[in-house]
């Protein structure tokens, strides 16, 4: 049974891998497949909710596709799903998650579900999740010893303080008999 309300765009230049992802993701979600960056730009529209984007592709790399998405105002959640180990350059990239291949079927479905759920949160919480994904990717690649990593952690702390303050404000207005 598919979730017809969620559309996933799979961008993967290796056709066999793209088909495998489509087979797995297509069991639960509507799918589209692009095997190049140019094709991804043709396939993306407001109906797409989640993009699984390969970073290293011939012609137009995933980084360039991502930049074009930003330029076009694409609002879909984007996961870089790639064999490229992350480096500090990812801190400035506007993706929602970064996953290093290989990925198994359950992890792939969980990734799409997580991105779909995150997109239902407000922008501040979505930003926190994006930063947390970058932090995790850098830690997995042992890149914690950098100024960019330290700035990322500082930004997360500040954002967490803002989120906590917003929650305190909401809870402060709530009925004190209500147990959250």
Quote the mean pLDDT of the chain: 89
Evaluate whether 98 touches 79 at the Cβ level (below 8 Å). yes
Is 80 exceeded by the pLDDT of residue 154?
yes
Tokens of 120: 């239902």
Evaluate whether 56 touches 82 at the Cβ level (below 8 Å). yes
Name the one residue in this structure whose structure tokens are 């043709």: 42
Which has the minimum average pLDDT: 28-32, 66-70, 171-175?
171-175
Name the one residue in this structure whose structure tokens are 């056709």: 15
Instruction: Say how far apart CA 21 and CA 53 lie, in whole Å.
Output: 11
Q: What is the DSSP letter of 174?
A: S
Which has the minimum average pLDDT: 11-25, 33-47, 101-115, 118-132?
118-132
At residue 117, the pLDDT reads: 82
At residue 127, the pLDDT reads: 87
Tokens of 133: 């994904």
Evaluate whether 75 touches 66 at the Cβ level (below 8 Å). no
What is 3-173's CATH superfamily? Response regulator (3.40.50.2300)
Instruction: Say how far apart CA 43 and CA 37 lie, in whole Å.
Output: 10
- Contacts of 146-152 with C-beta under 8 Å, sequence gap 24+, read 146/88, 148/88, 148/91, 149/88, 149/91, 151/91, 152/91
User: pLDDT tens for residues 71-128?
Assistant: 999 999 999 999 988 899 899 999 999 999 999 999 999 999 989 887 776 778 888 8
Tokens of 94: 């506007």
Question: Residue 2 — very low, low, confident or very high, per pLDDT cuts 50/70/90?
Answer: low
Evaluate whether 157 touches 165 at the Cβ level (below 8 Å). no
User: pLDDT tens for residues 158-169?
Assistant: 999 888 877 776
Instruction: Say how far apart CA 134 and CA 97 lie, in whole Å.
Output: 7
Q: Give the sign of the dihedral formed by CA 166, CA 171, CA 174, CA 180.
A: positive
At residue 118, the pLDDT reads: 76
- Consecutive H or E run containing 50: strand 50-53
Domain ranges of the chain: 3-173
């Amino acid at each position: 049974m598919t979730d017809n309300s969620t559309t996933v765009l799979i961008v993967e230049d290796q056709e066999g891998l793209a088909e495998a992802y489509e087979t797995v993701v297509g069991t639960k979600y509507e799918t589209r497949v692009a095997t190049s960056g140019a094709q991804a730009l043709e396939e993306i529209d407001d109906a797409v909710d989640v993009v699984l984007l390969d970073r290293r592709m011939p012609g137009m790399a995933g980084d360039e596709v991502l930049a074009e998405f930003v330029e076009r105002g694409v609002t879909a959640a984007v996961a870089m799903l790639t064999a490229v180990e992350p480096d500090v350059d990812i801190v400035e990239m506007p993706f929602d998650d970064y996953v290093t291949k290989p990925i198994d079927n359950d992890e792939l479905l969980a990734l799409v579900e997580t991105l779909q759920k995150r997109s239902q949160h407000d922008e501040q919480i979505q930003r926190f999740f994006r930063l947390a994904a970058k932090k995790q990717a850098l830690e997995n690649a042992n890149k914690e010893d950098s100024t960019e990593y330290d700035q990322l952690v500082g930004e997360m702390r500040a954002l967490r303080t803002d989120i906590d303050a917003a929650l305190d404000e909401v809870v402060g207005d709530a009925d004190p008999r209500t147990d959250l």
